[in-house]
Homo-oligomer: A and B are copies of this chain.
Amino acid sequence: MSTLWKSRYAQRTLGIKSSAIRELLKITQKPEIISFGGGLPAPDVFPVARFEEACHKVLAEYGAMALQYGTTEGYQPLREMIARNIARYGIFAKADNVLITSGSQQALDLIGKLLINRGDRILCEAPTYLGALQAFNVYGAQYVPVPVDDDGLITDLVDASLRTGPKFMYVLPNFQNPAGVTLSEGRRHQLILLADKYGIPIVEDDPYGQLRYEGEHIAPLVALDRENLRRDNGFTLGNVIYLSTFSKTLAPGIRLAWIVAPEDVILKLVQLKQAADLHTSTFNQYVAYEVARDGFLDQHVKLIRKVYRERRDAMLQALNDYFPPEVTWTHPKGGLFLWVTMPEGTDSEALLKAALAENVAFVAGDSFYANNGHEGSRHMRLNFSHSQPDLIREGIRRLSLAVKMQLRGSHHPVSS
């Protein structure tokens, strides 16, 4: 009888691994651990008081309406606000081009559902966002990984990869998760031309775009695509689906994100979302609208930038001070993550065990590679947004002990 269920699981459950990051979340809830593991925003910058005002206002003004079923597309004032906000980045969209989703993870799931048939190839960065691989794996995706360097996806390698006929390209141009690198402006233009040349669309995932700590803003692919198309009839054409979220600018626990896409794509996604969860929480959409409105979101993003810049700088400084010279790392201009490269032959899973013994956590690099090789084993992803600067410094000190031990090939504990 206990095999009844196992014998009934559909083919699509094969190949899903439980996420290393989510499992790590459980370990890292121990108070003694300094975690660079999750992609957690800093709770100390969540606008709790503003949320409380907003909840009060929404229930006082809208009452039961805010607790009732809503439309699948999302709360209209919120869609309009998002359309207005993204216009400043050159993304000219109407509310009808915006679909509210239950976090960006749902956006990835819906896109996978819409576009991927079992065996379809997806061009992605190597390394890339683990959550996207999980979402796409469910639909039987195969991958064509293209490496990144300090200027993001190496577009010179994309042309050849596109000739293998991928269904779409999945790209994180800003402060990429996990590598922290940013796609240069030149490469963005090149990528748009390639998408056009081969007729292969791009899914542009941009959760961190507003969290830039240095350098100039670079136009998103979706804006360059539109320029390239030189059309003025709204958003009906275009090669790019653009994703962003409130998880990193307001709070992740409200699960609010959005998709910007041509209207016929949105209509299809709406049908799939309706079948997936009817709609995203009405209450959360009303509340987020009240929290974000009247310029609060912009002000708040400035605060987050300031706090996260300090934390990034604290991590870069500590790495400089404590890490051995044969280890290198990226210098992210924004976002939440930094990517460490160790000498060839390092085993980051073993390093993680040693690090946990020192009460510090990170995510081993292997999880971020589509094709399950060992390309990631000399890498680790470090999150710098979650902990305060002094804890970051102490965590990097502890981590350096584990790293040095690992580099010496020793498995004996090192006293601090």
Question: Which residues of A are at the interface with B, using a C-beta cutoff of 8 A?
Answer: 1-2, 4-6, 8-13, 16, 18-19, 22, 25-26, 38, 40-41, 43-44, 46, 48, 51-52, 55-56, 59-60, 63-72, 102-103, 105-106, 109, 113-117, 120, 131, 134-135, 137-139, 167-168, 199, 201, 229, 236-237, 239, 251-255, 262, 264-265, 268, 270-272, 274-284
Known: A71-B22, A236-B2, A277-B277. A13 touches B253 (CB 8 A): no
Q: Which residues of B contact A65 (CB under 8 A)?
A: 43
- A109 interface neighbour in B64, B139, B201, B275, Cβ under 8 Å: B275
Main secondary structure of the interface of A (DSSP, over half): helix
- Nearest CB on B from A113, distance (A): 6
CB neighbours of A265 from chain B (8 A): 5
The answer to whether A264 touches B8, judged by C-beta atoms less than 8 angstroms apart, is no
Q: Are B117 and A10 in contact (CB under 8 A)?
A: yes
B residues less than 8 Å from A236 (CB atoms)? 2
Q: How many copies does the complex hold?
A: 2
Q: Does A272 lie within 8 Å of B4, measured CB to CB?
A: no
Our pick among B13, B26, B120, B272 for the contact of A16 (Cβ within 8 Å) is B272
Closest B residue to A53 using CB positions: B59
Provide the residues of chain B in CB contact with A264, threshold 8 Å: 2, 5-6
In the complex the two chains form, what is the Cα distance from A277 to B284 in whole Å? 15
Extra contacts, 18 of them, besides A19-B274, A26-B71, A69-B253 (Cβ < 8 A), are: A6-B264, A10-B115, A18-B270, A22-B71, A25-B71, A46-B67, A48-B63, A48-B64, A52-B59, A52-B60, A55-B59, A56-B56, A102-B102, A102-B255, A105-B274, A251-B283, A255-B277, A255-B280
Measured CA separation A64–B254 after assembly (Å): 11
* Subset of 15 A-B contacts with CB under 8 Å: A4-B201, A9-B114, A9-B268, A10-B120, A13-B114, A38-B69, A43-B63, A43-B65, A52-B60, A105-B278, A106-B276, A113-B138, A131-B275, A253-B282, A254-B283
